[in-house]
Amino acid sequence: MQLEQAIRTRRTHKAFGRDPVDRATLDELLELARWAPNHDLTNPWRFRVVGPGALARLKRAAGPEAATKLDRAPTLVVASVVIAGDPVQDQEDLLAAACATYIVLLGAHARGLAGYWRTPEVLRRDDGREAVSVPAGERVLGLIHLGHARQQREAPERAPTSEYVTYLP
């Protein structure tokens, strides 16, 4: 798949098949993430692949109503960023980790997988962070849902570039 095609055709999916993403493919995707641009090569991103025990803890922390959304995809990955305490570095590292997370989604799409990046409320709470072993020195970026799509998604309308691009003299 060509890069531009991957960017234009990747969609958020919320309906997945039951088969988890195999370990080798996950390793490939998470290896791709390390190529995200990051100032001073801080490699600030962290990814935690959620296993059955961690998922059970996260579902307990989320509560019964929110826990059902954690069952959407067969493979879940928590994306986070290390916080250094320097506002400038933290901003740069946050953006680098977001790029790394998107690389995982694009890589998954290029391999025929579906993805969904969400920011569930449970991962903003101490009990949710503890359930997936995120230490105090990291900020959670979100939960990446991965698997095989059970649906096709059409591209939504996008704003024309004239609405968000300014050429300065």
Domains assigned to the chain: 3-151 (3.40.109.10)
Q: pLDDT grade, residue 10 (50/70/90)?
A: confident
Read off the pTM.
0.91
pLDDT (tens digit per residue) in 19-31: 999 999 999 999 9
pLDDT (tens digit per residue) in 56-94: 999 999 999 999 999 999 999 999 999 999 999 999 999
Helix 87-110 vs helix 23-33: angle between axes, to the nearest 10 degrees? Answer: 140
Query: Is the four-CA dihedral 87, 92, 96, 98 of positive or negative sign?
Result: positive
